[in-house]
Structure formats: structure tokens, C-alpha cells
Amino acid sequence: MSKYFISIFCIATSFWGICQDKPIDLQPKDTVEYKQEYGLRVGADLSRLILSFTDEDYTGLELVGDYRLTQKLYLAAELGNEKKTQTENLGSTLLYNYTTSGSYLKVGVEINTYENWFGMNNAITIGGRYAAASFSQTLNNYNIFDSNRFYNPDGFLVGAQNGEEFSGLNASWLEFVAGVKVELFANIYVGMSARLGFLVTNKEEERFPNLWIPGFNKVTDGSNFGVSYNYSISYLIPFYKKSKKKKEVEPETEAEQN
């Protein structure tokens, strides 16, 4: 019986010796990991809603959305409809008054350049869109300059075709987008973006040019560039989660400590 105890004692002694060869790490390991939510974020542009209530010459709605593909890459889109009446004057004399009405769609991608603190989900994004609009313009009222002032010394005659509508108009453009999104509450975000557009195509009537395009804003004579802004509130519909491990902080070396 004693030889069994002697054998067990020898095995235990050998195991104890092996364990003593390796240092025992008493530092707790950080195993915390954060579950990042992936899903569809949908909302609306606040500025267009507010302007629709405060400006009697404007009505508009823009729906915004993005879908998270990877940790930093998003597929983004905007869908909107706008109607705007504008007046151009020469001094105190009316040149023309017109109404533009139509819809637009913008599709593109965004990249989040912001490195969030652990557990946060804010974004500073850059990206691009391809946009297209279909719309019509109605020339409500206008005056024609008369070069022959014999019968009209004031120089203007009232237009004879008020209310003429030009339909079947369309335009397309590219946009560079830079913006921010901040999570106010759980899954509720507010955002702001600035957009620089470059007009690619612009179908218009020879008798009346496209002076304002839904989604693009004012068209400048002699330039294909336009500027617009977006102020949004949106809600994230989570579909699934992916783990993001907290980055381990490397211990300082003895030279760095000194």
C-alpha cells in the first residue's frame, strides 16, 4: 500500500516543480467587450419640415436613411419632395415669379472617420452621393423687356402667357458629403451634413432655364456647383450585434517609466 502513496507523492512533487518554473500572473485579465449594433437608421430632415411651416412659399419633406455594412462603412440614401415659389426682381420691377415642384433620390456611401470611445456610437463622416431629380416649373408671372421704347418708355411689357408650365424636366448630380451624427438617447440620433454638388445633366426648356432644382437648390448661371445642408433626426432599428473587443493598453517599459 505504501508504494502507491510513494508513487502519488512523486507525481505531485514533479507537477509542483513544473508549476514553479512558470510565473503566476495574478493580474486580472480585461475580457470586457462591447456589442455594436448593426441595422437600419431611418429619419427625416428637420430643416425642411420647419421651413414648410414657417415659409408659405415652400413645402418639402426629405426622408434619410443609412445601413451599416462594416464597422466604418455605411450605405446611405435620401428621398425627398420639394415645392418652392420664387420671385426675381430688377429693382422694384418684377422680372418673373415661378414655382418648381418635384422629387429626388440620392444614393451613396459614407465612412465614419471618428474613433469612438469604448461603448459610444457617434460618427464624423465623409462620403458621396449620386442624385437624380424629376420636376416641373410653372412660370406664374413675368415681364418682358422691350427694346423698342417708343410705345413703352418704361421699358417693360407684361408677359402674355402667365401660368405656363414646363414639365418633364430632370437633372442629375454628384455630391460630396461631410457630416456628424450624435447619439442623444438609446438608438436616437441627430445629425448635420454639408453637401457640395456638381451638376452632371440638366434637361431644361429653352424659353425658361432651370433656376432651382429640388434636392440641389439654386442653379448658378455659368457654374455647375451647388451647396445644400441637411439637419436630421433618426432612429436606429437594430438587426443584429457584433462584438468589438476593448483595445488592450500595452504596459509601459522600464525605460519609458524612467
Which of 87-91, 222-226, 234-238 comes out lowest in average pLDDT? 87-91
The pTM (predicted TM-score) of the whole model is: 0.77
Question: Total structural domains in the chain?
Answer: 1
* pLDDT of amino acid 35: 75
Mean pLDDT of 92-109: 92
pLDDT tens, 125-179?
999 999 999 999 998 888 766 555 555 555 444 444 667 889 999 999 999 999 9
* pLDDT of amino acid 19: 45
Rounded Cα distance between 33 and 140, Å, is 62
Task: Confirm if 176 and 125 have CB atoms less than 8 A apart.
Answer: no
Is 20 part of any domain?
Answer: no
pLDDT tens, 25-71?
555 555 556 678 899 999 999 999 999 999 999 999 999 999 999 98
* DSSP calls for 18-70: HHHHSPP--SPP---EEEEEEEEEEEEEHHHHHHHHH-TTEEEEEEEEEEE-S
Among candidate residues 94, 91, 125, the one with its CA nearest the CA of residue 108: 125
Whether the per-residue pLDDT at 206 is higher than 80: the answer is yes
* pLDDT of amino acid 12: 47
Is 8 part of any domain?
Answer: no
Query: With left for phi above 0 and alpha for psi between -120 and 50, is residue 155 left, alpha or beta?
Result: left
Of 93 and 133, the structure prediction assigns the larger pLDDT to: 133
Task: Confirm if 52 and 59 have CB atoms less than 8 A apart.
Answer: yes
Is 253 part of any domain?
Answer: no
* pLDDT of amino acid 96: 83
* Dihedral (CA of 63, 69, 72, 75) sign: negative
Give the pLDDT band (50/70/90) at residue 79: very high
Is 19 part of any domain?
Answer: no
CATH of the domain at 41: 2.40.160.20
Mean of per-residue pLDDT scores for the chain: 82
Is 24 part of any domain?
Answer: no
Among candidate residues 80, 84, 81, the one with its CA nearest the CA of residue 100: 84
Cell 435620401 locates to: 78
Residue 236's domain comprises 33-242
Query: Cα 22 to chain center, whole Å?
Result: 55
Task: Confirm if 219 and 226 have CB atoms less than 8 A apart.
Answer: yes
